Amino acid sequence: MLKNITIGQYFPGETVIHRLDPRVKLLGVFAFIISLFFINSFYPYIFVVAFILTTIKLSKVPLSYVIKGLKPLILIISITFLINLFMTKGEILYEIGPLDITKEGLVQATFMALRLIFLVMGTSLLTLTTSPISLTDGIEKLLKPFSKIGVPAHELAMMMTIALRFIPTLLEETDKIMKAQMARGADFESGNIMNRAKSLVPLLVPLFVSAFRRADELAMAMEARCYRGGENRTRMKELRFKKIDFVALSITTVFIAIIITYRFWW
């Protein structure tokens, strides 16, 4: 299950999507996420599916690899679906004991589940097609205007990127610890949910120790390379917008315009 998480992982490639400016991809993902909350009917999801599938096709990331990232969130998506299904008042369709399934609840539950699915797929594509260094530079460039009011743009970008980068590393470390403890007789799979949760507690201590050790090693490595963030930091490759970046921004703008237009006028 832990190996199925794709957020924070990078899928190397030389495709059009990989070569896009990281600022364009960040803005595109933000706009995509916001557009999901403008959708109030099922027809706009046709454009969303077409947009996602086209991006996956151009990035040459296997569709199965992207869908694999949804597996760890099946429980969260299911709980969200059930809460909206049973807690939304409206026209009653079915009665299951004290719980009622309403028409409005079914629609709302479906919308929330689809939003979560496409949100995860969109953010996964961002990290899968953008290297950690490019992602750091892109976030820093976008936050740079806020540095005039005291926002530490470089430090925030570095922390966010390191956090994303270490998600798969910590998951891999967790998997190793679980296998080591299972080899010693630990049981993480039997029993009810409470018992499984209690059995995971012994994982926390070695995982935290490993995380702090890796953080200390990273800090020493950065100091050994004379890393100094801030205004005087130079880059080997400066970010510059290209023709393909403006094309991508135009396509994303048209996509957002279609979604908003459908919401308010159609």
Which pLDDT score, from 0 to 100, does residue 244 have? 92
Which pLDDT score, from 0 to 100, does residue 250 have? 92
**What pLDDT, in 10s, does the model give residues 59-73?**
998 888 888 878 878
Could you tell me if 143 and 156 are in contact, meaning their C-beta atoms sit under 8 angstroms apart?
yes
This prediction's pTM: 0.76
| Residue range 197-203: mean pLDDT, rounded | 73
Which pLDDT score, from 0 to 100, does residue 241 have? 87
**What pLDDT, in 10s, does the model give residues 14-60?**
899 999 999 999 999 999 998 888 888 888 888 899 999 999 999 99
Distance between CA 10 and CA 129 in Å, rounded? 6
184 or 7, greater pLDDT:
184
**What pLDDT, in 10s, does the model give residues 160-171?**
778 777 777 777
